[in-house]
């Protein structure tokens, strides 16, 4: 193999590597810039979920007619506070939605719990 052939092969290898890098960068631009809204909507659809509560089963009684177990409605709220910048606003909103009376001590405890 002559020196000229070796240089051509090296140039070909570098050209192919350059095309590969260019293809990867092009795909990254496509995903991050062009298709950003589509991927954002898909991610939010996966991360947020509404769960319906099934029908009540009723009370279970023992042989003497005393209730052993009964259904009680229960609610839970989960929060990822990583992106939360105004916890006071969130506590006020939750008080309004859940029908809680604003109490200064409870508000401070809730804020402390949210900021942990």
pLDDT greater at residue 20 or residue 100: 20
pLDDT higher than 80, residue 82: no
Rounded CA gap, 111 and 84, in Å?
Answer: 12
pTM over 0.75: no
Residue pLDDT, tens place only, 24-80: 999 999 999 999 999 999 988 888 777 787 777 788 899 999 999 888 877 776 777
In angstroms, the first-to-last Cα distance of the chain is: 68
Mean pLDDT taken over the chain = 82
Rounded CA gap, 90 and 87, in Å?
Answer: 5
Rounded CA gap, 65 and 75, in Å?
Answer: 29
Q: Which residue has the tokens 């990822």?
A: 80
pLDDT greater at residue 88 or residue 44: 44
Domain segments of the chain as ranges: 60-114
Residue range 83-109: mean pLDDT, rounded: 71
Cα dihedral value 42, 43, 45, 49, nearest 10: 160
């Amino acid at each position: 193999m002559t020196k000229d052939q070796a240089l051509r092969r090296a140039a070909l290898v570098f050209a192919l590597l350059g095309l590969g890098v260019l293809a990867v960068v092009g795909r990254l631009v496509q995903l991050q810039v062009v298709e950003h809204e589509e991927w954002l909507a898909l991610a939010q659809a996966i991360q947020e979920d509404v769960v319906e509560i099934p029908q009540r089963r009723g009370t279970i009684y023992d042989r003497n007619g005393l209730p052993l177990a009964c259904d009680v409605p229960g609610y839970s709220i989960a929060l990822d506070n990583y992106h939360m910048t105004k916890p006071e606003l969130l506590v006020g909103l939750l008080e309004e939605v859940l029908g809680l009376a604003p109490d200064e001590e409870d508000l401070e405890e809730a804020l402390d719990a949210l900021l942990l």
